[in-house]
C-alpha cells in the first residue's frame, strides 16, 4: 500500500508543473511522440494504485456534487468521494477527490477521477485536474496531456499521420490506446484538423468530434447540428424548452457538409470562424 502523504505531495508537484507547461506552445506534429512525460505517466500509475487501495472505503453518493465539474465521460456510474470531499460536498475544499466508475452491462469499463489539488494549478477549471483510466488502470487521458487534437469527450491518437478519433465510452478505446484502431472503421481524407485524414468507428463519431469546440454547445437532431454559444440564454434554456422555434439554418455549411442550425446567424459565423464584418 502506498503511503498517503508522499503520493498526494507528488501529485501536487506534478500539477504545478502541468500549470507551467500550459503556457508553453505545443507542436501538433509531436502529439504521438510526447502526449505526456515519463514522470507524468509514472505518477498517473502511482495515483491509480493509491486510489485502488482506498476507494472501497470511500463514501458513495447518488450524484456528483454541484461544486465539481462534470467529467468528460459523463457522470453515469458509481460515484465516490474521499474523506475531504465528503466532509462538505457543497463546497469541495482543496484535497477533494471525486471518482466515477463507469459501467457497461453492470461491469466497470473505465474510471473518471477529479482531483482539486491547490490554488493556481488549473484555473480554467477551478483548479480541478482530471484523469480517465480504463478498468485495468491504463491511463487514457488527463488534464496534463499535450494532445494537440484533443477534444472533450473523445480520445484521439495519431497513427501513421492519420488521426483516429473515438468517443471515450467506445469499447475500442482500449485497443486504440495501444495503437490499434478498430477493424471496422471509416476513413475521411482531409476532414480532420490541419486537413489530416480522419479515421473513426462511424461517421456519427467523426461529426460529433468535429462539432465539439470550446465555447459552444452542440446537439444533434435528425442528422442536423444545433449550435449554441456556451452560457447563452438559448443554451441555458435547452433542458427545459428544447430547440428554439426562431432559428437560422445553413444547409451543408458545417464539417462533412452537415447542416447547422442556431438561434442566430452570428452564432453560426462564430462557430465556423467567419471574420466579423
Inter-residue contact 141 to 154 (CB < 8 Å) = no
The whole-angstrom separation of Cα 255 and Cα 213 is 12
Q: What is the pLDDT along the chain (277 residues), one digit of tens a residue?
A: 333 445 555 555 555 554 434 433 333 334 444 688 888 888 899 999 999 989 999 999 999 999 999 999 999 999 999 999 999 999 999 999 999 999 999 899 999 999 998 888 888 888 999 999 999 999 999 988 888 899 999 999 999 999 999 999 999 999 999 999 999 999 999 999 999 999 999 999 999 999 999 899 999 999 999 999 999 999 999 998 999 999 999 999 999 999 999 999 999 999 998 877 6
Which pLDDT does position 147 carry in this prediction? 80
Query: What per-residue confidence (pLDDT) applies to 9?
Result: 55
Q: What is the pLDDT of residue 123?
A: 84
SS3 of 6, please?
Answer: helix
How far is it, in rounded angstroms, from Cα 33 to Cα 24? 17
φ and ψ at residue 97, rounded to 5 degrees = -130, 130
pTM score of the predicted model? 0.84
Residue 30: per-residue pLDDT: 41
What pLDDT does residue 208 have?
Answer: 95
Cα–Cα dist 178/29, whole Å: 19
pLDDT score for 146 = 83
CA 252/CA 230 separation, integer angstroms: 22
* Per-residue confidence (pLDDT) for residue 22, from 0 to 100: 42
Quote the CA–CA distance of 58 and 81 in Å, as a whole number: 6
Q: What is the structure's pLDDT at 196?
A: 95
What is the per-residue pLDDT for 11?
Answer: 54
| Dist CA 191 CA 209 (whole Å) | 11
Measure the CA dihedral 277/225/155/30, to 10°.
Answer: -20
The pLDDT score that the predictor gives to residue 8 is: 56
> Which cell goes with 197?
485524414
Question: Contact, 122 vs 128, CB < 8 A?
Answer: yes
How distant, in Å, are the alpha carbons of 52, 97, 102 from that of 55? 6, 10, 14
Query: Which pLDDT score, from 0 to 100, does residue 177 have?
Result: 93
Amino acid at each position: 500500500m502506498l503511503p498517503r502523504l508522499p503520493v498526494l505531495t507528488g501529485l501536487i508537484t506534478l500539477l504545478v508543473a502541468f500549470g507551467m507547461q500550459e503556457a508553453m506552445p505545443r507542436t501538433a506534429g509531436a502529439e504521438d511522440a510526447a502526449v505526456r512525460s515519463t514522470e507524468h505517466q509514472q505518477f498517473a500509475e502511482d495515483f491509480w494504485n493509491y486510489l485502488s487501495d482506498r476507494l472501497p472505503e470511500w463514501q458513495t453518493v447518488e450524484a456528483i456534487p454541484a461544486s465539481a465539474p462534470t467529467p468528460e465521460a459523463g457522470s453515469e456510474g458509481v460515484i465516490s468521494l474521499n474523506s475531504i470531499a465528503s466532509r462538505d460536498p457543497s463546497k469541495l475544499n482543496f484535497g477533494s477527490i471525486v471518482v466515477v466508475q463507469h459501467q457497461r452491462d453492470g461491469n466497470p469499463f473505465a474510471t473518471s477521477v477529479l482531483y482539486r489539488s491547490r490554488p493556481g494549478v488549473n484555473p480554467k477549471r477551478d483548479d480541478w485536474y482530471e484523469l480517465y483510466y480504463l478498468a485495468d488502470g491504463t491511463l487514457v487521458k488527463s488534464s496534463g496531456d499535450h494532445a494537440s487534437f484533443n477534444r472533450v469527450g473523445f480520445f484521439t491518437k495519431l497513427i501513421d499521420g492519420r488521426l483516429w478519433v473515438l468517443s471515450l465510452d467506445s469499447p475500442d478505446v482500449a485497443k486504440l490506446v495501444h495503437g490499434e484502431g478498430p477493424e471496422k472503421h471509416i476513413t475521411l481524407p482531409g476532414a480532420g484538423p490541419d486537413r489530416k485524414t480522419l479515421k473513426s468507428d462511424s461517421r456519427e463519431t467523426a461529426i460529433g468530434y468535429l462539432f465539439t469546440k470550446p465555447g459552444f454547445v452542440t446537439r444533434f437532431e435528425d442528422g442536423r447540428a444545433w449550435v449554441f454559444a456556451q452560457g447563452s440564454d438559448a443554451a441555458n434554456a435547452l433542458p427545459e424548452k428544447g430547440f428554439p422555434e426562431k432559428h437560422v439554418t445553413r444547409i451543408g455549411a458545417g464539417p462533412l457538409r452537415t447542416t447547422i442550425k442556431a438561434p442566430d446567424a452570428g452564432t453560426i459565423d462564430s462557430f465556423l470562424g467567419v471574420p466579423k464584418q
